[in-house]
Amino acid sequence: MSPHEKNVARDVDTPAIIAAKPDVIAPANTKKVFIKTYGCQMNVYDSERMADVLAPIGYAPVDTPDHADLVILNTCHIREKAAEKVYSELGRIRKHKEQNKPDMKVAVAGCVAQAEGAEIMRRAPVVDMVLGPQTYHKLPEMIAKVHRSSGEVLETEFDTIEKFDQLPKHRSVKGFSAFLTVQEGCDKFCTFCVVPYTRGAEVSRNVQQIVDEARGLAAQGVREITLIGQNVNAYIAEGPDGTQWGLGQLIRHVALIGGIDRIRFTTSHPRDMDDELIRVIGEEPKLMPYLHLPIQSGSNKILRAMNRDHTYDHYKQLIAKIRTARPEIALSGDFIVGFPGETELDFEETMRCVEEIGYASSFSFKYSIRPGTPGASMHRQVDEDVKQDRLVRLQELLYTQQEAHNKSLIGKTLSVLVEGAGRKGGQLFGRSPYLTGTHFDGPENLIGQIVDVTITEAGRNSLVGVLAR
C-alpha cells in the first residue's frame, strides 16, 4: 500500500496488500508472508500488526503469493457474499499451492473467520489456520503448532484485552500517516450489521498503550494519526489521573505528543457524540476539520427498524452543535438504501436529510442480507431493482454535494501533508485537512512536510493547487 493510500477511507470491496518495504533487505533465509486485506481501516491496521507479530520469527511481507511461505487472507463480513469471495480466493490459492508451492501454509483471519471458522476448515482443506480478529497475536504459536503437526488450528474466541497486551511494542510503518486502534467491538446491535458477532463487545485500550504506540509512530516520522474503532467515540478508559477518559480527553492527550501534527478519528456513532468531544472538535487545532458520522437513513421509521437508537432530529441537532463549535468542518456519512420495509416516502426522507445536512464525502450502499442478523429475517424485503434505482438517485445527489464542497475550496489556502510524488513529473501529492487528495508542483524535499497550498482547481475526488507564497 502506497503512503498516500494508508489514511484514506477505503471501499471495503477493494482488497489491500501489506506491501514489502523496498528499503529493507531481508536475509536469504527469511520466510515470506503475503497478506491480503479485505474491508475497513480496522482490518488494514490488523494486517499491519500481523506483519509486526510475524517479523520477529523471520517473516517478511511480499507483494504476491507466488513464492510466499505463508498466505493470510484478512477477511471482512460487512458485504453480501463476503464468505463466497473468500472461498473463491482460497480455490485459486489451492491450485497455486498444488502446482507450485506444496509447503505453503494458508491462514484465514478476520471477521469471516470469526463468523464461519468451522465451516471454512470443512469447506477449504487448504486452510491450515483460522483466527478471529482478537487472536492474531497468537500467530507465532499457531504457526508452530501447524509445523509440529498436520492438525487443524482454529482460534476464534474473543479476548481483545489479551490481544492488546500481547502486541509487539514496536510497529514498523512506512509513510507519514498511520492508523492507531483505540477501541474495538460494538454493543449497538444494528439489525443490518454483523460486527457485534464478529468483533465482540466494545473494549477500549489502555491510555498508556495508545500513547506509547503514538510516540513510537512519531519516532518513525509519522505526522498524522487516525484513531480508529468500530465505534471510536465509545472510547472510555481510566486515564493517568484515575478518572474515566472519553475520546475527547484522549485526543487532547495524544495532541501533546511531539511530532504528531494532525489527528483524525473514525468511525463515530451518533449515540456516543458527547459534549466533551464536540468541545475538543472546536478547540484542538491538531484535530482535522473532517468528521465521519454515519446516519444510514433519514427516516425515523427505518432508523427504529435498524435499531440505531437515534432519530433524524437528534442527528440534525448534533450536526448543528458540531458546526457551531467548528464552522469549517466537513462531514462524511454512510447511507443504506432498500432496508426491509423502506417505502418511497422513507427514501425521500433520506434524500431530504442529505439536502438539509450537506456532505463533503460519503459512502452509500444497497442493503444486503447478512446471515444471522435480525434484518435477514425481516419481512418486506425491497426488490433489487428498486434498491438500485434509489442508490443511483442518492449517489447523484451525494456526488453533486461532494463536488460542490471541493469547488468551494478554490482560492483558499490549505495545509497539505505531502505524502509522495504525483503522477506527473515534478508533481507532489498530499492530503488536505478534509482528507482530499491534492496535487501540486514542488521539489521532492517537501515530501513528509506540511505545506500551504492555494487551491486552483477542483474535481469530485481531488484538488489541484500551487504552493502558497
Q: What is the DSSP letter of 308?
A: -
Instruction: For residue 440, give the C-alpha cell.
Output: 501540486
Q: Is 190 one of the annotated binding-site residues?
A: yes
**Cβ contact 317:345 at 8 Å:** no
Q: Report the C-alpha gap between 241 and 208 in whole angstroms.
A: 12
Q: Is 353 one of the annotated binding-site residues?
A: no
- At 194 the three-state DSSP class reads coil
- What is the β-pairing status of strands 462-467 and 437-441? parallel
**Cβ contact 225:177 at 8 Å:** yes
Burial state string for 285-309 with b = 16 or more CB within 10 A and e = fewer than 16: ebbbbbbbbbbbbbbbebbebbebe
**Cβ contact 188:271 at 8 Å:** yes
Q: Is 76 one of the annotated binding-site residues?
A: yes
Place of cell 478476520: 110
Instruction: For residue 230, give the C-alpha cell.
Output: 468500530
Q: What's the CA angle centered on 347, arms 343 and 348, to 5 degrees? A: 115
Q: Which residues carry a binding-site annotation? A: 40, 76, 111, 186, 190, 193
Q: Which residues carry a binding-site annotation for [4Fe-4S] cluster? A: 40, 76, 111, 186, 190, 193
